[in-house]
């Protein structure tokens, strides 16, 4: 039996800088890809979206500098914190002190783990979490999100046909570009899907432009600190009750 091998041509090398227009399109696609998930977490938790965007941007810059720009990763909001932080906020009657303190503690655990890994290396992590373990974990996470995708698309009892239509058109455009397009266009299917779905949503009257027109052009994020500073910084009190410690196990996720 003759084996057939397909040759895949690499459009951009890992360290190759794309032309300006291609870089602009790739950047726009990355912004759209990260934006929904990054703002969804604070919306679910009732926290300021501006803070999530500000913190994720600062965190990404620190990460990029630390890795010498060798790993093109955007650090967005983590869905692992949603349940624990929502529980803490509900138990504290809307007070964010427990949630904020818990997040700070998790951050300290991450810093400690990073220093430990730097001191003793990563060999033990490779033995503890080999690819045969990591692969199925990622698959399970993706399959678990499939249910949310179906519900968000409107495929539920009483769902709006307009929402379903936009979801289907967006998916079909993305799938078509990903499978049929050639060259550079093949690596920006998500951008085409977003643009096509958005234009259809505008045509169907699903887009309200008034909140955009009424929003401020510039706004300082509502930042919280555990001490009084005055100005635009808000204060939260350090709290070490059970609600706080319930967030700490998220550090191992």
What is the DSSP code string of 57-83?
HHHHHHHHHHTTT-S-------GGGHH
Instruction: Name residues whose C-beta falls within 8 Å of residue 250's C-beta, 6 or more positions apart in sequence.
Output: 78, 80, 81, 84, 102, 106
Confidence class for position 1, pLDDT limits 50, 70, 90: very low
- Domain map (residue ranges) of the chain: 20-77, 78-252
Give pLDDT, residue 25: 94
3-state DSSP assignment of residue 233: coil
Confidence class for position 58, pLDDT limits 50, 70, 90: very high
- 32-48 b/e with 16+ CB inside 10 Å = b? eebeeebbbbbeebebb
Percent of the chain with pLDDT over 70: 94
Confidence class for position 8, pLDDT limits 50, 70, 90: low
Short-list 70, 66, 42, 90, CA closest to 224: 42
Report how far residue 65's alpha carbon sits from residue 39's, in angstroms, rounded to the nearest whole number. 24
Give pLDDT, residue 170: 94
pTM above 0.75, yes or no: no
Give pLDDT, residue 158: 79
- pLDDT, mean of residues 180-195: 92
Give pLDDT, residue 45: 84
Higher per-residue confidence, 184 vs 80? 184
Give pLDDT, residue 7: 58
Q: Is the per-residue pLDDT at 77 higher than 50?
A: yes
On whether the CB atoms of residues 176 and 188 are closer than 8 A, the answer is no
- pLDDT, mean of residues 110-116: 90
- pLDDT, mean of residues 195-224: 88
Instruction: Name residues whose C-beta falls within 8 Å of residue 168's C-beta, 6 or more positions apart in sequence.
Output: 153
For the chain, the average pLDDT equals: 85
Q: Is the per-residue pLDDT at 212 higher than 90?
A: no
Q: Is the per-residue pLDDT at 12 higher than 80?
A: no
Question: What digits encode the pLDDT tens for the residues 124-152?
Answer: 888 888 888 888 887 887 787 777 778 87
Percent of the chain with pLDDT over 90: 28
């Amino acid at each position: 039996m003759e084996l057939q091998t397909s040759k895949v041509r690499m459009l951009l090398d890992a360290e190759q800088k794309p032309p300006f227009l291609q870089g602009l399109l790739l950047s726009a696609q990355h912004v759209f890809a990260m934006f929904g998930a990054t703002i969804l977490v604070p919306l679910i938790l009732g926290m300021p979206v501006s803070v999530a965007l500000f913190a994720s941007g600062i965190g990404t810059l620190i990460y990029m500098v630390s890795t010498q720009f060798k790993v093109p990763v955007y650090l967005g909001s983590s869905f692992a914190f949603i349940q624990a932080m929502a529980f803490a906020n509900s138990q504290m009657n809307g007070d964010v002190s427990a949630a904020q303190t818990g997040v700070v503690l998790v951050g300290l655990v991450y810093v400690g783990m990073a220093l430990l890994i730097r001191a003793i290396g990563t060999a033990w992590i490779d033995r503890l979490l080999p690819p045969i373990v990591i692969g199925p974990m990622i698959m399970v996470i993706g399959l678990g999100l499939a249910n949310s995708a179906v519900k968000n698309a409107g495929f539920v009892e009483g769902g709006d046909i307009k929402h379903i239509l936009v979801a289907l058109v967006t998916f079909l455009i993305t799938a078509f570009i990903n499978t049929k397009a050639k060259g550079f266009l093949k690596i920006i299917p998500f951008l085409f899907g977003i643009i096509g779905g958005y234009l259809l949503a505008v045509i169907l009257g699903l887009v309200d432009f008034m909140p955009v027109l009424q929003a401020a052009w510039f706004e300082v994020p509502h930042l919280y600190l555990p001490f009084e500073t005055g100005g635009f910084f808000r204060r939260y009190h350090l709290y070490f009750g059970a609600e706080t410690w319930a967030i700490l196990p998220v550090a191992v996720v």
